Structure 1
Amino acid sequence: MTTADSPHRADGWTAAVRQRLDLGRLLPLGGPADGTWIAERAAAAVLREAANGSGAVLGRLRIAGSDADSTPDSAPEPVVPPPPGALPPGPLRIEADFATTAQRPLHVTADALRSALLTAASARLGLDVAEVDLRVTGLLDEEPGPAAVPRAEVHGTEADGVAGTAAAGVPGVFSLTRVLGSAVHTGAGHVRVELATAGDHRALDVARAVREAVAYAVEGRPSVTVLVTAVVEHG
């Protein structure tokens, strides 16, 4: 390695680590048989958008494994190898802080917010959420308007190879992505595909279709893991 190359390689390594950390936890999407995970950052953006109209302004938002089923060895094994560092399949817990006005009883706003989060988690993503833990952290003087949700930063890449082409052709796939390395990672009898989904498609449904398309297209019918790194809204 030359001295001239070192800063560039260090910058590239730092950027890659920062991208990986920005994803947050890698959450199981669907059940153990679905072989799909989604980045916490991607899921949180969808949930924050869903909170608009509930009368609450979300603060801290965290999605993690639930304690609802915490018996030893209760977590089922995934049917495919998970992405590096991913949470095992199982129910999830949403924890969120929010601020609101005192114009309505706080429990009414909390119920509306909880309902919005649960509906979005299931209908727009496919997350198995067992618990929603909410905490009021502030009171507002006026009814809040829609909060701006930062747009997803998508590190897109062109489809390459049979697996990538098959995945990119599935309706609802916005782009293949490359946060954890290449968009398509192949091993012995296994393929992992990383992608962003379009916001007008349920993420789990898209991922299931990608798994089927890739397994059918690649010789030997490998097992397939899908990681959703972003959900991209139109406009």
Structure 2
Amino acid sequence: MAETLLVADSLDKVYGEGAAATHAMRGVSFEVAEGEFASIIGQSGSGKSTLLNMLGLLDTPTAGRVLYRGTDPATLNKASRSKLRNELIGFVFQFHYLLPEFSVYENVAMPALIAGTLPPTEIRERASEALGLLGLDGLEDKNANQLSGGQKQRVAIARALMNRPAILLADEPTGNLDTVNTNLVYDLFRTISSETGTAFMIVTHDRSVAQRTDRILEITDGRLVQDVRSGPAPRL
């Protein structure tokens, strides 16, 4: 079996206090293996995005903990926690959040350029590699506002791959795309996972989309009500 990448251990999330308190997450526990291709499904308001934000270290649980390769980020200082998040986790959202006045290359490379931890030659190599993997060769110099919706989302995915994350968290990544581009994005996700060993956790409300992954975790009213493998278990 593959090594464990991520552990969600009895996660609770409560917003507000007293009579006004809202329990968005209740006792959710599961593990994700290195390279696993999984989805989180649930209706709007079920808590799936809240869960993804906690897994992505964008929000902290009220109780419980998240572990990455055995490390509890809550025990780290702010700088070390940010370093862990930047090194291990990539994000793709429903909206691409590209800067329209910048080129495709600049949008993809910008997080690495801002971080300043890689030499410029390696940043360019990584950006070219990610763009090639997403079928965007030759578009490096185009402005983001010249791209189609499907191309913009693929640029956002390339940007998320710049740090070669161990896991990519995607929140309704095809919610704004038509069927053709939705199928293309999920085919690309599968290819990326197979070729790079990156794990995927994809949030969706669409069961037909979730069924394209190897594992479906279903959230209802903040609880994990089902955890079903629809494909092979991850292997070394």
Q: TM-score range by the shorter chain?
A: under 0.3
- Name the larger-Rg structure: 1
TM-score (norm 2): 0.25
Q: Which has the higher helix share?
A: 2
TM-score (norm 1): 0.25
With a CA cutoff of 8 Å and minimum separation of 6, indicate the structure with the bigger relative contact order.
Answer: 2
